[in-house]
Amino acid sequence: MAKFLKGNDLNAELEKIFEDAEYSIILISPYIKLHDRYKSSLLAKLENYDLDITVLFGKNEDDMSKSMKQDDFDFFKQFPNIEILHEKRLHAKYYANETKAILTSMNLYGFSQNNNIEAGILMERTPKGTFTGSNTLDYETWKYFERVLQQAELLFEKRPVFKKKKNILSSKKYLNSEIKIDKLSEFFNDKNYKKVFKNSTHKKEDISKNNIKSKTGYCIRTGKEIAFNIEKPMQYEAFKMWNKYKNPDFPEKYCHFSGEPSNGKTSVNKPILNKNWKKAKDLFKT
C-alpha cells in the first residue's frame, strides 16, 4: 500500500515510524539535525535493546560535521543497539521501521521539516499485500537501500551483550552494550582539538608545517611522545584537562621540542624553551 504525503502529514507519519518501531529503525539522510519532537519519540525507545537502529548520512567527506553535528552523534550513541554509517554520494532520503517506510525529499533536518516544501511516499507492508503484490514497491525500495548500506563506511557500532542461556527454555538477560567501532568520536575529538588551537599563532617563529608531520615532539603537560606540532603541543587527554580553563599562558612541565623539563617556562602559547627555538627552526625548515 502506498500513500502520498506532504506538509504536516509527512512529519506526522515520520514520527509514527519512530513510535511504532519494535525491532528496526532505518534513517537515511544526507544531512541530520534532529528536531526535538523526533528526539522525544526516539528516547522512548532508549531501553529497548532489541531495537536495531541504523543511521546513514552523507556528503562532506572532508568534514562530516557539516552533515551531522556532534550533538546528534552524542544523542545516537547512547542507544544500546545502533550503527552509524557514511556514504559521500548519498542524496536520497529514506526512513523505515519493520512495517512502514517513507521515501521522501526531506532531510532529517529541523530546517527542512519546518520551512521547505517537501513530499514523500509512505509504503506499508500488510499480510494481504504479500499475496496481492501491493508490497512490491516497498520490497524493491528496501533491497536498493540495503545495497547502499552494504557499500557505506561503518563509523560507529554499538551492540547489546547478553548473558549466556543455561538452556533453550531460559530467557536471555541483557548485561550491557559494547562499542565495537568508533571512528566518529576520534573525528570529533580531533576537530575540537584543532578548533581550540587554531588561534594559537606563532608569528615570530615560523616553523614549516610541511615538514613536521613525521617528526616527534613531546606533550608539554605529560612529557609523552606525540607528533611535533606547535599548534597542538598536547596529547588529547592532557588537552581535555587544559580545555576546562583554556589558559594559553598556563605554565606547563615540558618542552615540546626536546621533552626536557621546562619548570613552568613553557605553555600553549610558548611550547618550546627559548634555548631550543633555533634548533627547532633549523631541524624543521624546508
Using the Cα atoms of residue 214, residue 217, residue 218 and residue 220 in order, give the sign of their dihedral.
negative
Closest CA to 89 of 58, 43, 114: 58
pLDDT of residue 133: 55
- In whole angstroms, what is the distance from residue 220 CA to residue 267 CA? 7
pTM of the model: 0.67
One pLDDT digit (tens) per residue for the chain, 286 residues? 789 999 899 999 999 999 999 999 999 999 999 988 899 999 999 999 999 999 999 988 888 889 999 899 999 999 999 999 999 999 999 999 999 999 999 999 877 777 889 999 999 876 555 544 556 778 899 999 999 999 999 999 999 998 887 777 677 888 899 999 998 887 887 766 555 555 444 443 444 444 444 478 899 999 998 888 888 899 878 887 887 778 888 999 999 999 999 999 999 999 999 999 888 887 765 3
Produce one character per residue of 38-76: b if its CB has 16 or more CB atoms within 10 Å, e if not.
beebbeebeeebebbbbbbbbbeeeebeebbbeebbeeb
- Please state which architecture CATH assigns to domain 2-188: 2-Layer Sandwich (3.30)
Domain(s) of CATH 3.30.870.10: residues in the chain: 2-188
